[in-house]
Chain A
Amino acid sequence: MENSRNKLKKTLTIYMAITVIIFLSLLSKLFFLQVVSAHAYKTLSDDNRIRMVAKDARRGDILDRNGNRLATSKPVFAISITNLGSKNQDEVINRLVKIMDMPEVTPEVIKEKMKRHFRLYEPVEIVKLPWSAEALQVITKIEERRRDLPGVIIQEVPRRYYPYGSLAGHILGYVGKISKDELEKYKQYGYGMNDIIGKRGIERSAELREISNQVVGLRGKKGVTQMEVNAYNHPVRKLVEIPPTPGYNVELTLDINMQRAMENAMNEIIAEIKEKNPKAGAGGAVVLDVNTGAILAMASKPDIDPNDFVNGKYEEKIDYYHKMKPGPWWNRALQEEYPPGSTFKMITGIAALEFAGIDPETKITCTGQYWKPPYIKCWDVHGKVDYYKAVAVSCNTYFQYVGEKVGIENIVKVARQFGLGQKTGARDIDSESKGLLPTPEWKSEVRSNSVNQKYEKKRQNLEKKYNELKAQAQTAEELERLEKQEENELRALEARYKIDYKFATEWHPFNTYNTSIGQGSNQYTVLQLANYIATFANGGKRWKPYLIKRIVSPDGQIVKEYQPELVQTVEISQDTLDITKRGMEAVTSPGGTAYYLFKNFPENIKVAAKTGTAQTGRAGDDPESDFHGIFVAFAPADNPEIAFAGVIEYGEHGGSSAGKVAKAIFEEYFNLQEQKFSQKDANATQ
């Protein structure tokens, strides 16, 4: 017995040893998990239970110079449902559908949305209701039956709204869902996949700006709610809640009343012109404060309505935006280049007075065309014209003559000082075009390439032809003959090339004539023309146009006030400017091309202007009948405040098209339309 006891003791020791090994392995693994890797598992555990739910901030408003709200955010009711995972979810959905009673909200639609929703802890948006009586009714009904609708949430979410519709649409721009590229570009500012971002215009340029190490702009800061969720991704409780910070308001230099006057006039005139010429329909216009460069109004037709891009109408109007011709997409005040026509003549005139010593009193005789080839025509037979009359009646003959006298170099020098053919550098706008100021250097560079290419091709064809012929040659004599023939032809080609090259690349007198009267290759944006006139009007200070006056924080503090920025002061004598101004005043005086427009204006508000009619230079247009109407002006002439430039495509005459827009603008700015209105009212009462 004692023997077997000992044996038992031995086996039990082995048994116990195995047990201890088993427990030690469990303990060491437990130690590894809970002591060594505890931190990693803690993170995993938090990943399991914590979710972030972002709350959008209210975007800042865009205001005009008088505080009118041009872009704002309107509350929209978002009705959402949280997936509580309860068994009577279907019942809740059915009840909600019945209460809402909207054809587009069906149980199937809701269930489909819930199925596609991955973040179960976030409510699923069923529908967005804009603020209206009907919407309020639906909301009230849902609130009344709150207890029967667990998980249904009504949230007020901000949605962009542009109260003035298409007015200033190109300037304001619009917002939209962030793109992949934008997401990459603005990575450091913490944008998310589904964020809204300014796409165009002020919405884009004022989206965010870094001002003294502080990021300000229309975009606010998103709020965040940290939620604890359970294994089914259903929210359990809120852990942390950081409310969103609203965006900054942006005040523009724009005056919405002037903008309205301008756009209404443009609409009216363009509609009229379109009846005569179906190619019409487009135009651009700009009004600048001559003393600062501030943009007071800027329009492009056809227009865009920013609301279309936030409320879904864009899809319906896709033909309007992308198929119609001319289309609304580009901002014609910035991005289209137009020949300036006669509005360029002041440049030629200033150059002639300043550098050629032309006496404004000296008269030349206009016989209806210039006396040198190619005998470019004038509008009329003006007879004896001096400088003032030449401006007033826009005499082509006179300006060709003085242009030739002063030479292209001086004309270019003056044009450059007034900013033509260069970007204005305007702040806060979408990209602008550069335009084109033709110079001898430009001509030589551009043309030499095309001529060279043309002749290189001809030479290659010739060689190819002879190579083929030579390959077929039977005798040595024939080969010799062919070689000689080829050499002759090449020499002839070379000679022709030299003549062509010289003609094409050299600046010819007629190039100067054309440039002098604003034809030829002159191409400028409306903004450039406006800035040129503003510079002229204020006595030679070229300002950088701008649109944003200041940025104001949500609590009303001005965080940035933008100051006018001087680009250049022109080096032209005051005499020359004054003389030319008198010429522009003569335009609106009896006998001038724009007299009829402003004849009813009071004495103290004298308008200085210049009309322009320019061959469109577009392929397929008739150079004899298709003209753009161009108009530039400033007022009051003796103490200028605002400058205008406008182009109405296919407007035929500057005065009768863009001139009318200028008239509407001045009437609005100087409060001259009251009389008209009161008269109308009187008629109505009778």
Chain B
Amino acid sequence: MTFREKIDCATLGVIALAFGWYAIVFPWGMRGTSALAAQGGLLLVVVIAMTLALTIAAIAMAVHRPRDANAPVDERDRDITRKAATRAYYVLIVGATCCFAVGYGVGDLAAVLNALLGTVVLAELVRLASQVAAYRLGE
């Protein structure tokens, strides 16, 4: 398993866990500015936790296999990255369009922002899962 593949797996797991926790603890019944405040607070916790977890994971993997960590990106890495980003882009565009279309009807800023956040997270999960699958199974 390459360093990039390990980082992709770790990021996939950390994002799924962090935003899974966000979805569980967010007070979905709340509306207006209090919902926005809860959103901001929870996002701050999620971002800090993700940054810490991924920094520690990257350092641990680099210390364990320094040669892999310093390996330059080759054409397969670039190819896998490009194809995964294309798949994620479609998810992002469709999701964002749906969010804006539905957002006009809902009228609650926090709900629209949560939907947009969900779209971004889903697109990122698709990108990372595509990369992991491509590294494991081939394109």
Whether A and B are associated in the same complex: the answer reads: no
